[in-house]
Amino acid sequence: MRGSLKAYNKVNISSQAAEASPHKVVQLLLGGSIDKLLQAKLATEQGEQGKKGELISRTMEIIAHLQAALDFEQGGEIAQNLSAMYDYMMRRLVVANQNSDVEALLEVVDLLRTVKSGWDAIPVEQHNLKKPA
């Protein structure tokens, strides 16, 4: 039954992402990253090193995609600051993985929550704004 629930959740998230605006996709990615790191924390505490490593690796892939999507021309200083924060998160996740450091995981969770809360605060009417021509 647990496998069925996992499969349903995966299909549900995939269908949400397929229908989502770019703003919603970023929200889903940030939320997914937070969830994966909380699962990695639990795996660390339970001594499941392989699972911990896989979850941290998947989170690092998401962060790398978020960083690659930054528009430095339009985003200016905000994009630069986010890029630096994503770099920092990646370094902390390497430490968390190598040393089974729960505090490093939680630090990145807090940073991701901060980014997500800022992203969530963007008014709906600005979710689909295009770059000026």
Asked if residues 93 and 22 have their Cβ atoms less than 8 Å apart, the reply is: no
Q: Is residue 5 part of a domain?
A: no
Residue 100's region, left for phi above 0, alpha for psi from -120 to 50, else beta, is left
Closest CA to 55 of 96, 83, 27: 96
Q: Is residue 98 part of a domain?
A: yes
pLDDT tens readout for residues 85-114 = 999 999 999 999 999 999 999 999 999 999
Structural domain including 71 reads 22-121
Sign of the CA dihedral 28, 43, 113, 77? negative
Which pTM does this prediction carry? 0.80
- At 19 the pLDDT is 61
- At 132 the pLDDT is 39
Q: Is residue 68 part of a domain?
A: yes
Q: Is residue 61 part of a domain?
A: yes
Q: Is residue 47 part of a domain?
A: yes
Q: Is residue 97 part of a domain?
A: yes
- Would the pLDDT of 6 be above 90? no
Q: Is residue 79 part of a domain?
A: yes
Report the domain count for the chain: 1
Closest CA to 111 of 93, 130, 89, 80: 89
Structure tokens given for 110: 């807090």
* CATH number of residue 27's parent domain: 1.20.120.340
pLDDT tens readout for residues 22-80 = 888 889 999 999 999 999 999 999 999 999 999 999 999 999 999 999 999 988 999 99
Q: Is residue 95 part of a domain?
A: yes
Structure tokens given for 133: 């021509």
